[in-house]
Amino acid sequence: MITDRATLEDLLAGLLPDEAGRFGPYGGRFVPETLMAALTRLEDGIRDVFHSERFGHLLSAELVDWVGRPTALTRARTLGAEWGVELYLKREDLAHTGAHKINNAIGQALLARELGARRVVAETGAGQHGVAAAAACARVGVPCTVYMGAVDVQRQAPNVDRMRRLGAEVVAVETGDQTLRAAIDEAIRDWVSDPEGTYYMIGSAIGPHPYPYLVRELQAVIGREARAQMEGTVGLPDAVFACVGGGSNAIGLFHGFLDAPTVEIFGVEAGGRGEGLGEHAATVSRGRPGVLHGTYSRLLYDDDGQIQETHSVSAGLDYPGVGPEHAFLADIGRVTYFAVSDDEALDALDRCCRAEGILPALESAHALAGARRWARENPGARVLVGLSGRGDKDMPILTALGGRP
């Protein structure tokens, strides 16, 4: 763990990002020339609109009055006692639409309207970003189309129904792996066809610059709140855990604690059912550098450079890439990334339900499983886990598994 504040500050200087949109070596823009003007307009809009006092007040009001922030910090007494630690949960499952995704969606929807977009396109995996995008676009009065892999449409049927009821057009993607990667591919194709009138609302801290920065800034409210809540009651945690797929909830939570050298930070990835390519989605801990969806980061690909399909019981972690800022944080050693299996996540979900009366999303269950593993070697520690969303959306998956409650 990095304990010297000066050293830590030097390392974190790479998180700006720089003028080329890079976090250390990661990030940048790898897109068709037709999208460069749209990205430049977005970058200008972030500088001139997003960071303006007027927009800040508008966004803050929506976060309080519509999203329901601040979300609670819950002491998980029973679960913590089982693990031998002092356990706290940052409750993004209590935000409007049931997950952290709404923080990003309402911010980008407001920005899209300010920039004069005629419509919004979005992608979704587990469906939570799709629901958030549909709700946010309804709120601001901009039409929304959501692309979703056909596999995810089947296993996340409740969220598909919610998106449509909220007024979004949901397009099932039948090409590629029919999960999140394919949905992103199709959303980008749509965006390329009308880059001036269409705003692409990316749901995670991925994609070409300035999206990883924008999503991080919109999700950083999680970490700011969590740190203030903990410092105002019990003090800083010894360790912070969040699940990592693309990485938006994790980067939002982590940013509240990156400059605190006494706090260890852990990103928990989807270990799936094995260590071979195609058996997991552990991009940071088992991947290699490369370019996907407009950014240079860590990816899962074979020796021929072909991006591989992934596996996770959780639809929201089923992505072969990760946000470039996470790759940088891993390289400099500020955040430790490791994987937990499907079975570990399912066990953690069951225990959280029975011990705390909280049904977490399968994504969040990975963070719980990672924290439980760490707690075995660190009795008495104060632990904060990001509960990124609620598990209602996962009931079809949990029911289909059988043999479990």
Indicate which residues carry an active-site annotation.
Answer: 101, 123, 388
Written as one string, the DSSP assignment of 91-140 is EGGGSGGGBTHHHHHHHHHHHHHHTT-SEEEEEESSSHHHHHHHHHHHHH
Distance, CA of 136 to CA of 142 (rounded, Å): 9
- SS3 per residue for 351-396: HHHHHHCCCECHHHHHHHHHHHHHHCCCCCCEEEEEECEEHHHHHH
Distance of CA 175 to the CA centre of its chain: 24
Q: What is the 3-state secondary structure (H, E, C) of 182-251?
A: HHHHHHHHHHHHCCCCEEEECCCCCCCCCHHHHHHHHHHHHHHHHHHHHHCCCCCCCEEEEECCCCHHHH
What region does 278 belong to: left with phi over 0, alpha with psi -120 to 50, or beta? left
Query: In this structure, are strands 73-75 and 86-91 parallel, antiparallel, or unpaired?
Result: antiparallel
What are the angstrom distances between the C-alpha of 128 and each of 121, 139, 199, 222?
15, 16, 19, 17
Distances in whole angstroms, Cα of residue 402 to Cα of each of 159, 201, 349, 395: 21, 36, 15, 11
Calpha distance 308→365 (Å, rounded): 24
